């Protein structure tokens, strides 16, 4: 498989992998309102290699790898790429999971989560707990690359309790990766303190001297696309990854920047509900959708009351009826 990362031209944006957020439905919704943007790479929700490798556990995580045909179509139209993100701590499980993904799905690359700071994950020795474990990390990356034949990337943080950018990123740059996304915070900082993009600039300097072919992407506190482009320019990064910013504006990546009116927001929410119910007619909890309601239902008269009414629903048909009556 060819390495798409090599063909990406600076600057570009990426939509971050997010738990119970970046499923095939939400990715399609974001892309549907992102024409004319620099959005080039999207990620699945992060998926456990232990879950993929377990015959029964696989049933609980396989939905994370779902890709609708309609999403495939819009990916092609935007010339965007879709990368699966996986996490764990056992090189053998990474090997097995990557082989399963290769044999059963089509993605443009595999990303390894070495950045999530959630306590329950860290206690398992996974994600950001891997920072600084050079030997194990090298084995994991090699296992994924050998078993999948896909471009391999890593999303990580600058350190555990303190920034260790120089030693940590220097090691990753010697692991034959295609791209590194660096969240400009330590594990300890979680998302509670401002991202420190000077660490991205340091990582870029390391990249330029050690492995200039590796794409280096910054992540953390990007307010909007113009802000992202300024951060890319000032640090020398190739791109910027957007996570929480998408919750304030689904049109984050749209090249036409203007305040969206009530009709636009509610029509997009309506589309989201219909696509969700069509994709998951059974098996996924409708309550997952409720975390999105605030994204669309805000900034207009009566938004709070409408949102409260929608939060009381338990079926997509009821929510759509309420939206239609409001419109």
State the pLDDT at residue 162: 96
Are residues 80 and 181 part of one domain? yes
Domain boundary among 208, 225, 248: 248
Are residues 145 and 275 part of one domain? no
Distance between CA atoms of residues 183 and 190, nearest Å:
10
Query: What's the rounded mean pLDDT across residues 138-144?
Result: 98
Report percent pLDDT > 90 for the chain: 86
Domain boundary among 192, 221, 248: 248
State the pLDDT at residue 1: 79
Query: What's the rounded mean pLDDT across residues 45-64?
Result: 92
Are residues 284 and 170 part of one domain? no
Confidence (pTM): 0.95
Are residues 109 and 72 part of one domain? yes
Q: State the chain's mean pLDDT as an integer.
A: 94
Are residues 295 and 237 part of one domain? no
CA angle, residues 190, 88, 281, in degrees to nearest 5: 90
Query: What's the rounded mean pLDDT across residues 41-46?
Result: 97
Q: Where residue 37 falls among pLDDT bands split at 50, 70, 90? A: confident
Are residues 81 and 142 part of one domain? yes
pLDDT at 257 over 70: no
Radius of gyration of the chain (CA): 20
pLDDT at 216 over 90: yes
Are residues 97 and 163 part of one domain? yes
Domain that holds residue 303: 262-326
Strand partners, 156: 114, 182
Are residues 41 and 150 part of one domain? yes
Query: What's the rounded mean pLDDT across residues 199-209?
Result: 98
Beta strand segments in the chain, E: 12-15, 39-43, 47-48, 81-87, 109-114, 152-157, 179-183, 215-219, 239-242
Q: Is residue 322 assigned to a domain?
A: yes
Distance between CA atoms of residues 324 and 327, nearest Å:
5
Are residues 225 and 129 part of one domain? yes
State the pLDDT at residue 281: 79
Q: Residue 234: which CATH number?
A: 3.20.20.70
> Are 219 and 16 in contact, with CB atoms under 8 Å apart?
yes
Q: Is residue 253 assigned to a domain?
A: no
Q: What is the pLDDT of residues 91-132, one digit of tens each?
A: 999 999 999 999 999 999 999 999 999 999 999 999 999 999
Query: What's the rounded mean pLDDT across residues 23-40?
Result: 92
Q: What is the pLDDT of residues 282-323, one digit of tens each?
A: 768 889 899 899 999 988 999 999 999 999 999 999 999 999
The 3-state DSSP class for residue 111 equals: strand
CA angle, residues 254, 109, 107, in degrees to nearest 5: 80
> Which of 218-222, 254-258, 319-323 is the least confident region?
254-258
Are residues 288 and 212 part of one domain? no
Q: Is residue 159 assigned to a domain?
A: yes
Spell 62-93 as b/e; 16+ CB within 10 A means b: eebbbbbeebeebbeebebbbbbbbbbbbbeb
Q: Distance of CA 88 to CAs 172, 182, 266, 320, Å?
A: 17, 18, 38, 39
Residue 116 annotated to the active site: yes
> Are 127 and 100 in contact, with CB atoms under 8 Å apart?
no
Q: What is the pLDDT of residues 71-91, one digit of tens each?
A: 999 999 999 999 999 999 999
pLDDT at 66 over 70: yes
DSSP state of 8: P
> Locate tokens 């999207």: which residue?
42
Query: What's the rounded mean pLDDT across residues 6-23?
Result: 95
Number of domains in the chain: 2
The active-site residue, picked from 53, 116, 127, 175, is 116
Are residues 108 and 182 part of one domain? yes
Q: Is residue 152 assigned to a domain?
A: yes
pLDDT at 256 over 90: no
State the pLDDT at residue 49: 97
Are residues 189 and 275 part of one domain? no
Which one is predicted more confidently, 282 or 197?
197
Q: What is the pLDDT of residues 165-180, one digit of tens each?
A: 999 999 999 999 999 9
């Amino acid at each position: 498989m060819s390495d798409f990362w090599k063909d990406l031209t600076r600057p570009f944006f990426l939509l971050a992998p997010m738990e119970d957020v970046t499923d095939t439905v939400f990715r399609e919704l974001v892309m549907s309102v992102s024409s004319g943007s620099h959005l080039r790479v999207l990620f699945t929700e992060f998926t456990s290699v232990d879950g993929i490798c377990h015959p029964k556990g696989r049933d609980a995580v396989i939905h994370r790898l779902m890709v609708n045909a309609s999403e495939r179509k819009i990916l092609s139209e935007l010339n965007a790429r879709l990368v699966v993100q996986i996490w764990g701590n056992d090189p053998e499980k990474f090997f097995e999971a990557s082989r399963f993904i290769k044999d059963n799905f089509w993605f443009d690359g595999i990303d390894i989560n070495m950045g999530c700071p959630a306590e329950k994950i860290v206690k398992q020795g996974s994600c950001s707990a891997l920072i600084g474990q050079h030997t194990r990390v090298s084995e994991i990356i090699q296992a994924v690359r050998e078993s999948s034949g896909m471009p391999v990337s890593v999303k990580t943080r600058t350190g555990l309790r303190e920034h260790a950018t120089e030693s940590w990123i220097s090691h990753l740059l010697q692991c034959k990766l295609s791209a590194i996304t660096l969240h400009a915070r330590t594990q300890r900082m979680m998302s509670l303190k401002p991202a420190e993009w000077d660490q991205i600039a340091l990582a870029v300097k390391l990249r330029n001297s050690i492995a200039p072919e590796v794409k280096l992407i910054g992540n953390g506190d990007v307010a909007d696309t113009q802000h992202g482009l300024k951060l890319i320019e000032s640090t020398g990064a190739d791109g910027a990854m957007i996570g929480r910013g998408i919750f304030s504006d689904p049109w984050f990546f749209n090249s036409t920047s203007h305040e969206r009116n009530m009709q636009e927001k509610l029509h997009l929410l309506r589309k989201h509900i219909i696509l969700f119910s069509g994709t998951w007619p059974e098996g996924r909890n409708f309550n997952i959708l409720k975390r999105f309601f605030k994204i669309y239902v805000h900034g207009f008269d009566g938004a709070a009351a409408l949102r409260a009414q929608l939060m009381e629903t338990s079926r997509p048909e009821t929510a759509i009826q309420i939206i239609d009556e409001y419109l």
